[in-house]
Amino acid sequence: MSKRRRGKLKVLALMDHVLMPPDDPGDANLETIEWKTEFHVVRALRDLGHEVSKLGVGTDLGVIRAGIEAFKPDVVFNLLEDFKDVPIFDQNVVAYLELLDVPYTGCNSRGLMLARDKSITKKILSYHRIPVPEFHVFRMGHAVVASLPIIPAEARAKASGDIFGPTMLMTTALVTAAYFFHITTFYYLIKWVPKIVVDMGFDPSSAAGVLVWVNVGGATGGALFAVLTLRFNLKALTMAVLLLSTVMITVFGQTPADLQRLILICGLSGFCINAGIVGLYAIIAQAFPTHVRASGTGFAIGVGRGGSVLAPIIAGFLFTAGFSLPSVSIAMAAGSTLAACTLLMLKLESDKPAAEPVRPQTAR
């Protein structure tokens, strides 16, 4: 209680609705009846001169609020040990009382939460150097693990720097270059489409609409590509959409000032380019062994993102130098072609032919 009051108090006794005791127990055996605790608490409080109101709680917190507003207690005597028949929910009832700014008996919500989690409680006690019995936490439905697996010394010696080692340097260079080249093409489309459409005589809102369809096509392409990888080889499929990206960007450069045709071509371009990016993500992850997969993927994508910086600069330089839209588009589309050629040199585990099953020989 925030303030201690003397004399008679108005006490609201919270209890489970199925454990509400009668005022007169009659012939009930108060040693065995299930609501004996609730009965004795209420009777003791009344014997001490306090005004007590019993409130049964089931599955609705609104009952508590209504009871508090009607009775206006000085303090809530909390006898609840669960809520909705879930023991760990008792902390939520106390938290609700705290939100209502009503004094209550017993532990606060944070203490109840910690006390319900025995492993966390023991970890806290151990941290403060208070002795506790040894304990283990076992996940329900999982087999018990006697000990952690032993990691070989050779595996422990491996480091993320292996991506620059003699056995993986070529892989790192190839996947980084492929991503860099294709991102250059991608950002040419993303950064220059609005200006190109406006230069064709359309208003900025129309240019923004064309860019929206680039993103719609990209989202569709990425989703469809994921489905197609279930049936086709990942690297071959990725190389195919990279070459299609080259074709679509080249066609974009040849498209006349027709808004509907621009929307269609740009949507298809976004479809192919984003499908290629999804494929490259999967290839990059597949190219590196487990112990350097995170560092290898991070390096390839991080360095490859340099293409997003260079693409607008290169295209701007070409336009300033007097090259036409078709010529600039062909030059920038070459990034996807270079990416496909780079992947051609990359060797993946999925490229290796599957070993033929050994056929049992019949004894003669």
**Predicted confidence (pLDDT) per residue in 285-334, tens digit:** 889 888 788 888 999 999 988 888 999 999 999 999 999 999 999 999 99
The C-alpha atoms of residue 74 and residue 8 are separated, in whole angstroms, by: 10
pLDDT digit string, tens, across residues 71-90: 999 999 999 988 988 888 89
Query: Is the same domain home to 191 and 279?
Result: yes
Q: How far is CA 1 from the centre of its chain?
A: 41
Same domain, 307 and 200: yes
- Domain total of the chain: 2
Distances in Å between the Cα of 269 and the Cα atoms of 116, 185, 264 are 56, 10, 9
What are the backbone angles phi and psi of residue 217, rounded to the nearest 5°? -60, -40
Tell whether 178 and 310 lie within a shared domain.
Answer: yes
Asked, for residue 255, whether it belongs to a domain, the answer is: yes
Percent of the chain topping pLDDT 70: 90
Query: Which domain does 29 fall in, by range?
Result: 10-106
The answer to whether residues 210 and 342 belong to one domain is: yes
In this structure, are strands 10-16 and 51-57 parallel, antiparallel, or unpaired?
Answer: parallel
Query: Is 141 contained in some domain?
Result: no
> Is 331 part of a structural domain of the chain?
yes
CATH of the domain at 60: 3.40.50
Domain endpoint, select from 66, 88, 106 = 106
Give every CB contact of residue 41 below 8 A, 6+ residues apart in sequence: 13, 77, 79
Positions in the chain whose pLDDT score sits under 50: 1-4, 354-358, 360-364
> Which strand (E) or helix (H) includes residue 54?
strand 51-57
Question: Rounded to whole angstroms, how far apart are CA atoms 59 and 80?
Answer: 12
Residue 125, CA atoms < 13 Å, CB-side half-sphere? 14
Residue 128 lies in a domain: no
Q: Is 293 part of a structural domain of the chain?
A: yes
In a domain, 144, yes or no: no
Based on the fold, state whether residues 301 and 189 are members of the same structural domain.
Answer: yes
Q: Is residue 116 part of a domain?
A: no
Report pLDDT for 155: 61
Same domain for 323 and 182: yes
Measure the CA–CA gap between 19 and 56, rounded to whole angstroms.
Answer: 8
Residue 129 lies inside a defined structural domain of this protein: no
pLDDT of residue 362: 45
Residues 36 and 181 in one domain: no
Distance CA 38, CA 22 (A): 10
Cα separation, 217 vs 192, whole angstroms: 17
93 & 197 share domain:
no
Shared domain for 77 and 203, answered yes or no, is no
Do residues 198 and 291 share a domain?
yes
Is residue 303 classed exposed, middle or buried when 0-12, 13-18 and 19+ CB atoms within 10 A define those classes? middle
pLDDT score at 348: 81
Alpha-carbon separation of residue 313 from 205, 317, 334 (angstroms): 24, 6, 16
Q: 299 and 185 share a domain? A: yes
* Token pair belonging to 90: 């008792």
pLDDT score of 357? 47
